[in-house]
Structure 1
Amino acid sequence: MQKRIKIFVDCHIFDKSFEGTRTYITGLYQELIKDNSKEFFFAAKNTTILKETFGNNENIKYLKFKTTNKFYRLLIDIPKLIKDNKIDYAHFQYIVPPIKYCKYINTIHDLIFLEYPQYFSWLYRVKNKFLFSYSAKRSDIILTVSEYSKRQIQDRFNIDQIEITSNAVNNVFFEKYDKEVVKLTIKEKYKVDNYFIYVSRWELRKNHHFLLEVFIENNYYKDFYLVLVGKKDFSNNNFNLLYNSLPNSIKEKIIILDKVNFEEIHLLIKGATLSIYPSIAEGFGIPPLEAAVAEIPSIYADTTAMKDFHFLKNCEFDPFNKVDLHQKIQLKLKEKKPLSYSELIKEKYNWRKSALNYTKELNKSIKKTNENSHSWYQRNS
Structure 2
Amino acid sequence: MSGYRVGVDAHVLDGKFQGSRTWVLETLRRAPLLAPELTFVVYSGDPDRSAALLGDVPVEHRLLPPGGPVGRNLRFWPRAIRRDRLDVLVTQYFSPPRYPRRQLVVVHDVLFETHPEFFGRATRWRNKLLVGWSARRAGTVATVSEYSREQIARVYGRPSQEIVLVHNGVDVPQTAGSGTLPAQVPAGTRYALMVGRLEPRKNLALALEAFARVADPDVRLVVVGRDDFEDPRTLALLAAEPRAVHLSDVAQDELWELYRRATVFVFPSRGEGWGIPVLEALAAGTPVVASDATAIPEAGGTACTYLDVAAPGAPAALADLLEAAFAGRLPFDAAAAREHVAAFGWDRSAGELVTALRAAVGVRPTPAR
TM-score, length-scaled by structure 1 = 0.85
Bigger shift: residues 155-164 or 356-365: 356-365
Superposition map of 1:316-355 within 5 A: 316-320=306-310, 321-333=314-326, 334-335=328-329, 338-340=332-334, 341=336, 343-355=338-350
Following superposition, which runs of at least 4 residues in structure 1 exceed 6 angstroms of deviation?
Answer: none
State the identity %. 25
Determine the C-alpha separation between the residues in 2 that align with 1:305 and 1:213. Answer: 24
Determine the C-alpha separation between the residues in 1 that align with 2:254 and 2:286. Answer: 16
Change (3 A) 1:15 1:51: same
Residues 205-252 of structure 1, C-alpha deviation per residue, up to 9 Å, x if partnerless?
A: 1100110011112235x11221111121112144135346x4xxx43x
Determine the C-alpha separation between the residues in 2 that align with 1:368 and 1:60. Answer: 20
Q: Secondary structure at the match of 2:168?
A: coil
Q: Secondary structure at the match of 2:141?
A: strand
Give 1:205's match in structure 2, choosing from 176, 198, 201.
201
Residues 308-331 of structure 1, C-alpha deviation per residue, up to 9 Å, x if partnerless?
A: 256434611121312221222233
**2:210 matched residue in structure 1:** 214
Q: Secondary structure at the match of 1:33?
A: helix
CA contact (8 A) 1:143 1:164 kept: yes
**1:133 matched residue in structure 2:** 132
Q: Secondary structure at the match of 2:90?
A: strand
Give 2:258's match in structure 1, choosing from 265, 268, 275.
268
**1:284 matched residue in structure 2:** 274
Change (3 A) 1:162 1:169: same
Q: Which amino acid aligns with 1:44?
A: S
Task: Indicate whether 1:358 and 2:353 are aligned.
Answer: yes
Determine the C-alpha separation between the residues in 2 that align with 1:199 and 1:314. Answer: 16
Instruction: Give how far 1:31 is off.
Output: 2.2
Q: Secondary structure at the match of 1:323?
A: helix
- Structure 1: gaps of 5 or more residues: 370-381
Q: Which amino acid aligns with 1:364?
A: A
Determine the C-alpha separation between the residues in 1 that align with 2:257 and 2:48. Answer: 24
**2:294 matched residue in structure 1:** 304
Superposition map of 1:1-381 within 5 A: 2-34=1-33, 35-57=35-57, 59-100=58-99, 103-160=102-159, 161-172=162-173, 175=174, 177-178=176-177, 182=179, 185-186=180-181, 188=183, 190-191=185-186, 193-220=189-216, 222-243=217-238, 246=240, 250-251=241-242, 253-309=243-299, 311-313=301-303, 315-320=305-310, 321-333=314-326, 334-335=328-329, 338-340=332-334, 341=336, 343-367=338-362
CA contact (8 A) 1:194 1:224 kept: yes
Determine the C-alpha separation between the residues in 1 that align with 2:23 and 2:320. Answer: 33
CA contact (8 A) 1:12 1:68 kept: no
For the aligned residues, what is the CA RMSD? 2.5
Instruction: Give how far 1:332 is off.
Output: 2.8
Q: Which amino acid aligns with 1:277?
A: F
Instruction: Give how far 1:342 is off.
Output: 5.1
CA contact (8 A) 1:166 1:354 kept: yes
CA contact (8 A) 1:18 1:262 kept: no
Residues 77-119 of structure 1, C-alpha deviation per residue, up to 9 Å, x if partnerless?
A: 3333322211111100001123438700000001112111222
Determine the C-alpha separation between the residues in 1 that align with 2:7 and 2:61. Answer: 10
Q: Secondary structure at the match of 2:43?
A: strand
Determine the C-alpha separation between the residues in 2 that align with 1:258 and 1:188. Answer: 13
CA contact (8 A) 1:82 1:101 kept: no
CA contact (8 A) 1:109 1:144 kept: yes
Structure (1 or 2) with the greater helix fraction: 1
Q: Secondary structure at the match of 2:28?
A: helix
**1:377 matched residue in structure 2:** none
Change (3 A) 1:309 1:82: closer
Q: Which amino acid aligns with 1:162?
A: I
**1:376 matched residue in structure 2:** none
Instruction: Give how far 1:17 is off.
Output: 2.3
CA contact (8 A) 1:104 1:138 kept: no
Q: Secondary structure at the match of 1:171?
A: coil
CA contact (8 A) 1:276 1:298 kept: yes
